[in-house]
A and B are shown apart, each in its own frame.
Chain A
Amino acid sequence: MSILGDGGGISLPMGDNVQVVEVILTITDAAAERLRAVLAEEAGEDLVLIITTLSGGCSGHLYDMQVAERPDDSGFQHLDVDGIGVSVHNRDSERLNGIQVDYVDTLMGGGFKIENPNADRGCGCGKSFG
């Protein structure tokens, strides 16, 4: 039973008041090569890279990247970047528009890196931006 009882409270809009922009993003050659390898290793049809921002991290937002089947949700924008399918939710469109996905391979730990022109700040680990 809800603590709100029959009164119900007033439902609050969650994530609805966002500006939607048409996303343009780029993927470096190194990242594209790595992504094609990852996509080839995964089982499934119509696989895409889904890039998301989550609240949290030192600077306010975190990047989240996953390979999954192309989302069947009208809230997504679907892009073809050099033959790689990328999906971005409208809710993330303003924060992710203009990003460049790169891949860095170093002995001290490489991985995908995102350069984001919308970020005013980032944290030491490179996973958080604000």
Chain B
Amino acid sequence: MGDSRPTGPLWFERASCSRTVLSGADAVDLLQRITTNDLEEMSATDVRNTCLIDANGRMLDLLSVWHLGTELLLMGSENQGEVLRAHLADAVSWKDDVQAADADGVLTLLTLVGEGVDDVVCHLVGELPESGRWLMGETCWCARPVHKGEADCWDIVFQAGNRQEVLSLLSTHGVSRADEHTWQQERVSRGWLEGGREVDGTVIPLELDLWDSVSFDKGCFTGQEILARMESRGKLARTLVGLSCSAEPTLGRQHTEAGSVVVTSSVEHSRLGWIALALVRPSTMEDDGKFSMQGDAGEVEVEACILPFR
């Protein structure tokens, strides 16, 4: 069994998630044209998720867009910053009034999880932000994370100069720093996506259950035809599920009795044992969801479940 999860609320630094600030009169219009969600009606304090996909509907990045009034803060998936920025640079027309700044060195993103974080957020920004909204405190901005999730999780963003003050406040309120293994336990058990694992350029947003990040009535956007076709057919080739495993599963694609399975992440959880995220055929869930697959140390018995793990 892996390391025990520390008790109490935790913070995890999301350093590999890109932070990009867009400004200019056409910033929203640009994102409206090249990403999946309807951002046109966003106004200051709104937060919305949207996907950057290619013309084949494949995921390039999952973005949390924070409308700050005169600027948009884009927070991307892990390790996808170069892809996002190259895409933005290519997408800007001579007609577009859009400027972009790499804010990775200026802004810090932390995710807070665990029982009691709501109280901490109230201390940081005065009250709990409404769903789909951010709130600003003296030292940071706060909103629910890009991932679907339970109540006890928040993203906070602050300028690098406020780091000590914010970390000190978190410490005062009993929020501990989570190490990578603890973060992966939280992430995988909640079914949260990670750039380079679940968001990898081969998968379509609907296969990752990102329905709330796609608008089917906003008009054309890059990759729209593919998503519209999948939606109208009502059929997905594969879907992201959780796997409860008897031992460590092998990452990557393998053929099993349940068909092709792509294991994207796995971790040994202190309460749940070995768990994984995987793309499987939807029919797998219609059966009993049990099958065997290859593990790093031999055969592994697995049971597929709907996310998050309980």
Contact = CB atoms under 8 A, between A and B. Distances in A.
A4 B55 contact: no
A130 B71 CA distance: 29
Contact of B159 (A5, A15, A64): A5
B220 A55 contact: no
A111 interface: no
A117 interface: no
Interface centre among B73, B91, B94 (most CB of A within 10 A): B94
B106 interface: yes
B95 interface: yes
B71 A3 contact: yes
A82 B289 CA distance: 68
Contact of B93 (A10, A52, A130): A52
B154 interface: no
Contacts of A4: 21, 101, 103, 106-107, 159
Q: Is the interface of A mostly helix, strand, loop or mixed?
A: loop
Contacts of B159: 3-5, 7
Contacts of B21: 2-4, 9
A9 B93 contact: no
B92 interface: yes
A8 B221 contact: no
B89 A55 contact: no
B89 A15 contact: yes
A54 B33 contact: yes
B45 to A, nearest CB: 13
A124 interface: yes
Contacts of A89: 93-94
Nearest to B94: A89
B247 interface: no
A12 B88 contact: yes
Interface in B90-143: 90-96, 98-103, 105-107, 141
Nearest to A53: B93
A11 B105 contact: no
Interface size class of B (residues with CB under 8 A): 35 or more
A43 interface: no
Contacts of A60: 54-55, 222
Interface in B170-226: 220-225
Interface in A95-130: 121, 123-125, 127-128, 130
Contacts of A85: none
Contact of B105 (A3, A9, A130): A9
Given A15-B89, A75-B94, A58 B106 contact: no
A73 to B, nearest CB: 8
A56 B98 contact: no
A7 B85 CA distance: 19
A63 B145 CA distance: 36
Contacts of A26: none
B30 interface: yes
B160 interface: yes
The list of the 5 closest CB pairs from A to B, nearest first, reads A56-B33, A9-B101, A55-B91, A7-B106, A10-B102
Interface of B: 20-21, 23, 30, 32-34, 54-55, 68, 70-71, 73, 85, 88-96, 98-103, 105-107, 141, 157, 159-161, 220-225
Given A3-B73, A91-B94, A123-B225, 11 more contacts: A2-B70, A3-B107, A4-B21, A7-B105, A7-B161, A9-B101, A9-B107, A11-B102, A12-B89, A56-B222, A57-B33
Interface of A: 2-5, 7-17, 52-60, 62, 64, 73, 75, 89, 91-92, 121, 123-125, 127-128, 130
27 contacts: A3-B73, A3-B107, A5-B106, A7-B161, A9-B101, A9-B102, A11-B102, A12-B100, A12-B101, A12-B102, A14-B92, A52-B93, A54-B93, A54-B95, A55-B91, A55-B92, A55-B93, A56-B32, A58-B222, A58-B224, A62-B220, A64-B95, A92-B94, A123-B220, A125-B220, A127-B220, A128-B220
